[in-house]
């Protein structure tokens, strides 16, 4: 089965599993519905299609297709991840950085913050270990006052990892844009650093340039009790068309 031919034969986006079945049958009458799971799995693994919602897919191989977001970690963040993997291989954690948002901002942030979200039982242990290596640069669940008083460039902020936090495509410990968008509304530290006046353009740029899985986005928004606020904000302040 020519996977690219199946995708191109659909002719519209986003498309569903049923659209793929119809296209495959159109090109090969011997195609069986039982082959669909493997067909879609191969399309995804070969970066030919990407999920953009519940039972919704888009092409990922055309020149006009949106990109899949890839985390670009700083040297400091990579070193922290190395230490955590060596000392706490069994602990779940995610690392993301404030400087990632500069790609979407007109007013660039000059001070980077490294967020280390750790499953609740491991926060204290990780804080103690990192504090030995980076004394004076580690903050554990800081208040806004503590952040203002103690923070500097590449300050590490340790917070609780919310269960079911979405994972990055390229690194199990990275945070995808779906998570970061929600954190703009749920994370008090981040909301204090980034002006809300920058939100509309920033979120629009994310949706314009990269594939955003709206199912993943809104599932996490619900976990953070920000679903209604996020949906309302996007609809009233941006030109993004939600699925």
Q: Which of 83, 175, 182, 66 is nearest to 129 (CA)?
A: 83
pLDDT of amino acid 150 = 80
Confidence of residue 148 (pLDDT cuts 50, 70, 90): confident
* CA gap 26, 38 in Å, rounded: 18
pLDDT digit string (tens) for 185-202? Answer: 999 888 888 989 999 999
Least confident of 107-111, 159-163, 176-180: 107-111
User: What is the sign, positive or negative, of the torsion defined by CA atoms of 193, 125, 220, 78?
Assistant: positive
Range with the largest mean pLDDT of 53-57, 110-114, 214-218, 219-223: 219-223
Per the prediction, the chain carries an average pLDDT of 89
Q: Can you give the pTM of this predicted structure? A: 0.76
pLDDT of amino acid 178 = 95
How many other C-beta atoms are found inside a 10 Å radius of the C-beta of residue 125?
13
Q: What pairs with residue 210 in β-bridges? A: 67
- Structure-block tokens of residue 175: 């945070």
Q: What pairs with residue 49 in β-bridges? A: 59
Taken in order of first residue, the domains within the chain and their CATH numbers are 3-59 (1.10.10), 75-237 (no CATH)
HEC per residue, 196-211? HHHHHHHHHHHHHHEC
pLDDT of amino acid 54 = 87
Confidence of residue 165 (pLDDT cuts 50, 70, 90): very high
Q: Has residue 46 got a pLDDT over 50?
A: yes
Residue where the block lists tokens 């031919």:
5
Does residue 58 contact residue 213 with C-beta atoms inside 8 Å? no
pLDDT digit string (tens) for 89-139? Answer: 889 999 999 999 999 998 888 889 999 999 988 999 999 999 888 888 899
DSSP 160: E
pLDDT of amino acid 63 = 43
Does residue 175 contact residue 71 with C-beta atoms inside 8 Å? yes
pLDDT digit string (tens) for 54-87? Answer: 899 988 865 445 778 888 899 999 999 999 999 9
Does residue 123 contact residue 141 with C-beta atoms inside 8 Å? yes
What single string gives the DSSP state of each residue in 173-240?
TB--HHHHHHHHHH-HHHHHHS-GGGHHHHHHHHHHHB---HHHHHHHHHHTT-HHHHHHHHHHH---
């Amino acid at each position: 089965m020519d996977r690219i031919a199946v995708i191109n034969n659909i002719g519209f986006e986003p498309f569903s599993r049923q659209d793929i079945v119809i296209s495959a049958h159109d090109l090969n009458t011997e195609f069986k519905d039982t082959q669909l799971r493997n067909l879609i799995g191969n399309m995804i693994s070969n970066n030919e299609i990407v999920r953009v919602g519940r039972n919704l897919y888009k092409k990922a191989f055309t020149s006009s297709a949106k990109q899949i977001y890839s985390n670009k970690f700083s040297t400091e963040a990579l070193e922290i991840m190395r230490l955590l993997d060596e000392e706490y291989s069994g602990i779940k954690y995610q690392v993301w950085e404030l400087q990632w948002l500069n790609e979407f901002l007109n007013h660039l942030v000059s001070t980077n913050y490294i967020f280390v979200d750790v499953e609740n039982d491991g926060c204290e242990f990780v804080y103690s270990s990192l504090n030995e290596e980076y004394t004076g640069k580690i903050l554990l669940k800081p208040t806004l006052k503590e952040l203002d008083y103690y923070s500097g460039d590449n300050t590490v902020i340790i917070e609780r990892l919310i269960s079911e936090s979405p994972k990055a495509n390229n690194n199990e410990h990275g945070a995808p844009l779906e998570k970061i968008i929600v954190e703009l509304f749920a994370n008090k530290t981040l909301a204090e650093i980034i002006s809300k006046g920058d939100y509309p353009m920033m979120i629009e740029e994310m949706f314009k340039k990269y594939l955003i899985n709206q199912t993943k986005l809104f599932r996490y928004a619900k976990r953070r009790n920000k679903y209604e606020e996020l949906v309302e904000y996007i609809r009233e302040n941006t030109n993004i068309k939600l699925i």
